[in-house]
């Protein structure tokens, strides 16, 4: 072969350009079911908010609401997978959604498995399997 270094460079460029396609999807979903309830990666119970419109791509819980109900954050490198998608929040940050509804944790839940926010003001609900 006349130019083995060109072939090596071409193979390297091809491999590097293909890598993001396989590594961009989160290795783990942002949440999973434990004891019949959806929890985030830390094991904290996840909630939906009735004021959020399914598949709207945004959250109705901002400002002080988001302090009490922290959004399940998505990083810049996270990509939708299965029932999990990403919405862009009012402040430009990214948040996970589950079947089109943004998902949150509850500030009053102090540890994994707590569900103090279920049916809070008849607007916040756990996600059951």
Q: Write the pLDDT tens digit of every residue in 91-110.
A: 999 999 999 999 999 999 99
Average model confidence (pLDDT) for the chain? 85
| The pLDDT of residue 25 | 46
Give the pLDDT band of residue 29 (cuts 50, 70, 90).
Answer: confident
Phi and psi at 85, nearest 5°, equal -130, 180
Domain extents for the chain? 26-126
**Taking the complete model, does pTM exceed 0.85, yes or no?**
no
Among candidate residues 127, 128, 129, 105, the one with its CA nearest the CA of residue 116 = 105
- Find the mean pLDDT for residues 3-26: 40
């Amino acid at each position: 072969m006349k130019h083995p270094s060109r072939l090596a460079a071409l193979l390297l460029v091809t491999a590097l350009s293909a890598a993001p396609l396989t590594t961009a999807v989160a290795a783990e979903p942002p949440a999973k079911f434990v004891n019949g309830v959806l929890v985030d990666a830390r094991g904290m119970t996840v909630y939906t908010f009735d004021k959020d419109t399914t598949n709207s791509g945004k959250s109705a819980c901002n400002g002080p609401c988001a302090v009490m109900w922290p959004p399940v954050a998505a990083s810049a490198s996270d990509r939708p997978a299965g029932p999990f998608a990403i919405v862009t929040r009012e402040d430009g940050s990214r948040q996970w959604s589950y079947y089109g509804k943004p998902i949150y944790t509850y500030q009053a839940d102090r540890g994994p498995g707590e569900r103090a926010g279920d049916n809070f003001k008849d607007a916040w609900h756990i996600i059951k399997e």
